[in-house]
């Protein structure tokens, strides 16, 4: 009969790295949500006003004319 051997091994966890990874992932998720919201808003504006009116408004905003 073989018996299992239990070994105790210390694992070093760097809390600074863990916090940085959490912050990076949280920031990436928030950026993705903002991007999805922006695309939905742009699509709604194109549907409501039409693509030509959107292009004219964009060019007016850029040039100021």
Domain ranges of the chain: 17-63
Contacts of 63 (CB under 8 A, 6+ apart): none
- CB < 8 Å & 24+ apart, contacts of 35-41: none
pLDDT in tens, 5-58: 788 888 888 899 999 999 999 999 999 999 999 999 999 999 999 999 999 999
pLDDT on residue 41: 95
pTM of the entire predicted model: 0.65
What whole-number distance in Å separates Cα of residue 49 and Cα of residue 58?
12
């Amino acid at each position: 009969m073989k018996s299992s051997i239990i070994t105790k091994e210390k694992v070093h966890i760097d809390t600074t790295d863990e916090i940085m990874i959490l912050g990076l992932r949280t920031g990436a998720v928030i950026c993705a949500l903002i991007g999805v919201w922006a695309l939905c808003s742009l699509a709604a504006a194109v549907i409501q006003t039409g693509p030509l009116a959107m292009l004219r408004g964009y060019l007016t905003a850029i040039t100021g004319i």
